[in-house]
Chain A
Amino acid sequence: DIQMTQSPSSLSASVGDRVTITCRASQSISPYLNWYQHKPGKAPKLLIYVTSNLQTGVPSRFRGSGSRTDFTLTINGLQPDDFATYYCQQSHTIPWTFGQGTKVDI
Chain B
Amino acid sequence: EVHLLESGGDWVQRGGSLRLSCAASGFTFRGFAMSWVRQAPGKGLEWVSAISGDGSDTYHADSVKGRFSISRDDSKSTLFLQLDSLRADDSAVYFCAKLSLGNYYDSSAHADYWGQGTLVSVSS
In whole Å, how far is B81's beta carbon from the nearest beta carbon of chain A?
Answer: 16
In whole Å, how far is B121's beta carbon from the nearest beta carbon of chain A?
Answer: 16
Q: Verify A94–B116 contact, CB threshold 8 A.
A: no
Is residue B4 contacting chain A, with contact meaning CB distance below 8 A?
yes
Q: Verify A42–B47 contact, CB threshold 8 A.
A: no
Residue among A36, A44, A100 with max Cβ neighbours from chain B (10 Å):
A44
Q: Verify B107–A44 contact, CB threshold 8 A.
A: no
Is residue B29 contacting chain A, with contact meaning CB distance below 8 A?
no
Q: How far is the CA of A96 from the CA of B59 in the complex (A)?
A: 11
Q: Verify B107–A91 contact, CB threshold 8 A.
A: yes
A interface: dominant SS? loop
In whole Å, how far is A41's beta carbon from the nearest beta carbon of chain B?
Answer: 7
Q: What string of 1s and 0s marks CB contacts (under 8 Å) between B89-124 and chain A?
A: 000000101001000110111111111110000000
Given A44-B95, A96-B47, A101-B44, also A50-B116 (CB < 8 A): no
Residue among B4, B108, B113 with max Cβ neighbours from chain A (10 Å):
B108
Is residue A26 contacting chain B, with contact meaning CB distance below 8 A?
no
Given B46, B105, B110, B117, which contacts A49 in the complex, CB threshold below 8 Å?
Answer: B110
Give how many A residues have a beta carbon under 8 Å from the other chain's beta carbons.
26
Is residue B88 contacting chain A, with contact meaning CB distance below 8 A?
no
Q: How far is the CA of A71 from the CA of B22 in the complex (A)?
A: 32
Given A49-B110, A91-B107, A95-B59, also A43-B4 (CB < 8 A): yes
In whole Å, how far is B44's beta carbon from the nearest beta carbon of chain A?
Answer: 5
Q: Verify A91–B108 contact, CB threshold 8 A.
A: yes
Given A45-B114, A46-B112, also A32-B107 (CB < 8 A): yes
List 21 interface pairs A-B (beta carbons < 8 Å), by A numbering. Answer: A32-B107, A32-B108, A36-B45, A42-B116, A43-B95, A43-B115, A43-B117, A44-B37, A44-B111, A46-B112, A46-B114, A49-B100, A49-B112, A55-B112, A87-B44, A91-B108, A95-B47, A98-B44, A98-B45, A98-B47, A100-B44
Q: Which 7 residue pairs spanning A and B have beta carbons closest together?
A: A43-B114, A96-B47, A98-B45, A49-B110, A44-B114, A34-B110, A32-B107
